[in-house]
């Protein structure tokens, strides 16, 4: 999405109760099956605009809109299009829209044929404006939620989308034939609790429309795992919380058209906090093993990777997490700071969560120090050393470089004077680092032999790691990608993060 001029970070929003919870506090969550009537289990049939929208969803005549055609929005839009819904994608990035209008796909997790077919048969179209968005029945908001340089939340993409939708409502009240038209708005962007009701709802209320009657509003957090072939948009269970009971029921029904399991919770706030819990859980556990990996290196003689694998033999009460050069992607890095920022408005410090985030952010610095130690053993200075980074995506086998720790390591080395840094990555042909455009080198003998230090930052499965180690002079492995290499002469070339081996090469 193109960014609006409104970039002001809002003050923490009070968690005032809407008084419209669907279920009582502490109620057992229920996965609502994709079939069955809404009035089952004692629910009254929906009425008025809600009933009209319910009918459209059930007979596949509802028009679906998706704002933000990135890793979350585009797969969502294509799923609806493939189910027979007329779907409109809105993104202010003209480059993305131009590609989609030609049937070209740019998201790795979607089959190219699915995009081209949806465009060809007319079930999906993309536009770089909100014109006629008022004619849509459901609009998903799937825009970025970054943080500022001070790590405060920036929800301006969300508020800008809400303002654009509200402006469309003001432009014409009703459908093309003049009949009343009520939309369901579903926010999917990861954010802090009370964004839906405290930031989006007031913008929509300013149009004079009444939530639960003239329009419907819910939060349903994304659960996208780039590169995961097992868990996709269609089969990953999701959570939904609406502002009113009717909002929740319509949001559940909408998602059931493309998703197998939909779980209703009592409010948008619960759904918003649930998403943060998912990602903070991972952040805290990764931080734990990262800290222990550094301790193993300090102590010597204890391999943290072996420790984790040994602990993983316990069949209950344990889940393995592994150390690495840092964390990347959109959610795990950002979400702890979103919650910590809001907690401060209540005179509450999330010390444990913040410390975990800081520990993970320290790992690129630790990798940089490993490089310094390796260079110190060579007859060259850092500025003359040729450094090759293996993999720059934030995780294995994807092209996503958002907040990649590999890029952060490269930046830190450049800041300290490194002049000769190159990279290879089959998924990332070009990279912008510290004002420089870098082009990926081939993964071949010449490239590897030319490097004084090789850093395995992302362990893509396409790489032949034995060939890499045999060819390289020194390999710093931050992912345990070389674990299957046992030949002593080759192991001597490897500096493994968390291996407990002191660098006395």
Q: Which residues form the catalytic set?
A: 331
Burial class, 442, CB count within 10 angstroms (exposed 0-12 / middle 13-18 / buried 19+):
exposed
> What is the CA angle 206-212-218, rounded to 5?
85
Question: Around 346, how many Cα atoms within 13 Å sit in the side-chain half-sphere?
Answer: 12
DSSP 3-state percent helix, strand, coil across the chain (nearest 5): 40, 15, 50
Helix (H) or strand (E) holding 408: helix 405-415
Strands 430-433 and 436-439: antiparallel
Placement of tokens 């432009």 in the chain: 171
Coil, helix or strand at residue 477: strand
- Cβ atoms of 436 and 413 within 8 Å: the answer is no
- Cβ atoms of 332 and 299 within 8 Å: the answer is no
Residue 80 phi/psi, 5-degree rounding, is -65, -45
Placement of tokens 């796909």 in the chain: 105
* Most distant CA atoms of the chain, gap in Å: 79
Q: What CA–CA distance (Å, rounded) separates 408 from 112?
A: 31
> What is the CA angle 376-382-383, rounded to 5?
160
Strand order in the sheet with 238-242: 30-32, 262-264, 238-242, 216-219, 184-187, 138-141, 64-67, 87-90, 124-127
Coil, helix or strand at residue 189: coil
Strands 453-456 and 420-424: unpaired
Residues linked to residue 65 through DSSP beta bridges, in sequence order: 88, 139
Q: What CA–CA distance (Å, rounded) separates 483 from 495?
A: 12
Q: How remote is the C-alpha of 308 from its chain's centroid? A: 26
Q: What CA–CA distance (Å, rounded) separates 460 from 259?
A: 30
Residue 453 gets which letter from DSSP?
E
CA dihedral 172, 176, 177, 181 (to 10 degrees): -60
Count Cβ atoms below 10 Å from residue 449 Cβ, excluding itself: 11
């Amino acid at each position: 999405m193109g960014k609006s001029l409104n970039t002001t970070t809002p003050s923490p929003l009070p968690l005032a109760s809407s008084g419209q919870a669907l279920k009582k506090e502490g109620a057992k969550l229920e996965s609502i099956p994709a079939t069955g009537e809404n009035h089952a289990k004692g629910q009254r049939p929906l009425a008025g605009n809600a009933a009209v929208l319910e009918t459209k969803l059930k007979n596949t005549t509802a028009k679906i809109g998706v704002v933000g055609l990135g890793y979350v929005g585009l797969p969502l839009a294509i799923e609806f299009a493939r189910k027979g819904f007329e779907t409109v994608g809105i993104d202010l990035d003209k480059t993305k829209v131009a590609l989609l209008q030609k049937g070209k796909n740019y998201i790795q997790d979607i089959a190219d044929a699915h995009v081209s077919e949806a465009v060809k048969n007319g079930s999906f179209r993309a536009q770089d404006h909100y014109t006629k968005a008022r004619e849509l029945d459901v609009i998903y908001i799937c825009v970025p939620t970054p943080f500022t340089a001070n790590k405060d939340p920036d929800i301006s993409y969300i508020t800008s989308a809400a303002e654009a939708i509200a402006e469309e409502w003001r432009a014409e009240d009703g459908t093309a034939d003049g009949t009343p038209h009520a939309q369901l708005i579903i926010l999917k962007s990861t954010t802090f609790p009370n964004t839906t009701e405290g930031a989006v709802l007031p913008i929509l209320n300013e149009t004079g429309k009444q939530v639960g009657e003239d329009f419907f509003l819910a939060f349903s957090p994304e659960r996208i795992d780039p590169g995961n072939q097992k868990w996709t948009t269609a089969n990953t269970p999701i959570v939904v919380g609406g502002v009113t009971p009717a909002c929740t029921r319509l949001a559940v029904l909408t998602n059931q058209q493309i998703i197998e399991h939909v779980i209703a919770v009592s409010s948008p706030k619960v759904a918003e906090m649930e998403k943060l819990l998912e990602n903070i859980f991972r952040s805290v556990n990764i931080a734990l093993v990262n800290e222990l990996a550094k301790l193993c290196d300090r102590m010597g003689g204890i391999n943290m990777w072996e420790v984790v694998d040994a602990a993983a033999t316990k069949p209950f009460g344990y889940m393995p997490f592994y150390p690495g050069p840092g964390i990347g992607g959109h959610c795990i890095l950002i979400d702890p700071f979103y919650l910590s920022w809001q907690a401060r408005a209540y005179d509450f410090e999330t010390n444990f969560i913040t410390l975990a985030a800081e520990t993970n952010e320290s790992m690129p610095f630790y990798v940089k120090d490993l490089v310094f130690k390796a260079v110190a053993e060579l007859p060259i200075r850092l500025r003359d050393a040729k450094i090759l980074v293996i993999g720059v995506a934030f995780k294995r086998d994807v092209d996503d470089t958002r907040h990649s720790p590999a890029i952060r390591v490269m930046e830190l080395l450049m800041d300290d004077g490194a002049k000769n840094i190159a990279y290879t990555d089959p998924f990332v042909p070009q990279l912008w680092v510290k004002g420089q455009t870098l082009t990926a080198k081939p993964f071949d003998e010449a490239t590897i032999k030319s490097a004084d230090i090789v850093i395995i930052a992302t362990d893509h499965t396409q790489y032949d790691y034995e060939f890499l180690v045999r060819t390289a002079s020194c390999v710093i492995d931050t992912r345990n990608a070389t674990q299957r290499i046992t030949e002593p002469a080759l192991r001597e070339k490897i500096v493994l993060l968390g291996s407990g081996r002191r660098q006395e090469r």
